[in-house]
Amino acid sequence: MKIPKRIQPLVDEGLVDGVVRQLMSGKEAAVYVVRCGDELRCAKVYKEATQRSFRQAVAYQEGRRVKNSRQARAMEKGTRYGRKMAEEVWQNAEVDALYRLAAAGVRVPKPYICLDGVLLMELVQDVDGDVAPRLSDVQWDHDRALEFHSLLLKQVVLMLCAGVIHGDLSEYNILVDAHGPVIIDLPQAVDAAGNSAAAAMLERDVANLANFFGAFAPGLLASQYGKEIWRLYEAGSLTPDVSLTGQVAASMQPADVGAVIHEIELARHEEEEERRRRQEQWVA
C-alpha cells in the first residue's frame, strides 16, 4: 500500500518499514496496520480539529495541564498558536493515558511513540493472530455477557483508581483479544479529580456497558454500578479489588440541578455521536 503522507515521517525516522492496509477511519482518526521489522503494529493518524466529528472536546479538556501559562492563555484565546497547542494536548492525552493505565494494570494497547500527530502502538490481535474484533462484533450469550461485563467493570475500577475516566467507553472502542477485553481510543480520557463532569462521564461509561450486555443478560439493565463506583471513589474507599453489588442507597441530599442538566447535555451529545458512529465503516 502507498504510504500515507502523515505516516511518511515515521518511515523517514526508521520507526515504520511499510503500511499493510488501512484498518478503520473514525470520528477522530484513521488507523493503519503497519510493519515494523518483524512485527505488525498500528499507526493512529489523528485528524485535524476541523475534520473531527467529535465535538465535545471542551468538556473533556477541562483539567488538562499544559507546559506553561503562555500556552494556556493562547489556548483560551483560540489563537493559531493556541489551536496548535490544543491539538498537541489532545493527541498527547492518549499517549499519557495509555502509559498511566498500563502501569495501573489496565488492559490497553502498548504505546511506542507519538510523532507529528501519529501514534504508533501495539496491534491488538485475536487468538489466530488476526486483528482483534470489537466487542460489538462478537457473539454473546447470557453467561459470557456477565463474565465480560464483570471483567470490564474491574477495568473501569482500575482506571478510576489511577485517576482516569475513559469518557467515551462503549462496545465500539473495546477489542477482544485472546485473553479478554482491551480498552482503546483514549484521547478524550479525563482526570477524575480535575473535571467537573467526571462523575457523569464515569456513570455514562458504566451505563453503556450495562446497556450493551443487558441485551444478553437483562438483569444488568437495572444495575447502578456507576453510581456505586463513584461513591466509593469520593469516599476514598475504592480499591482495585473492591467487591461491587450494583446497588446504592438513595441519597437524601438535594439534587444538583446544574449537574443534572449537564448530564442531560452529555447524553444528548452521546446520542448524536452514536448516530455518527454507526455510519462509520471499518475498512476490510
**CA distances to 93, 165, 171, 172 from 181, in Å:** 21, 17, 10, 12
Cα distance between residue 169 and residue 165, in whole Å: 9
Q: Which of 96, 168, 191, 205 is catalytic?
A: 168
Q: Which of 116, 177, 185, 256 is catalytic?
A: 185
Q: How far apart are the first and last CA of the chain?
A: 14
Cα distance between residue 257 and residue 267, in whole Å: 15
What is the identity of the amino acid at 249?
A
Alpha helices in the chain (DSSP H): 8-12, 57-61, 69-77, 80-103, 142-161, 198-214, 225-234, 257-279
Catalytic residue status for 185:
yes
Residue 238 class from Cβ within 10 Å (0-12 exposed, 13-18 middle, 19+ buried)? middle
Catalytic residue status for 17:
no
Q: Which amino acids are annotated catalytic?
A: 168, 185
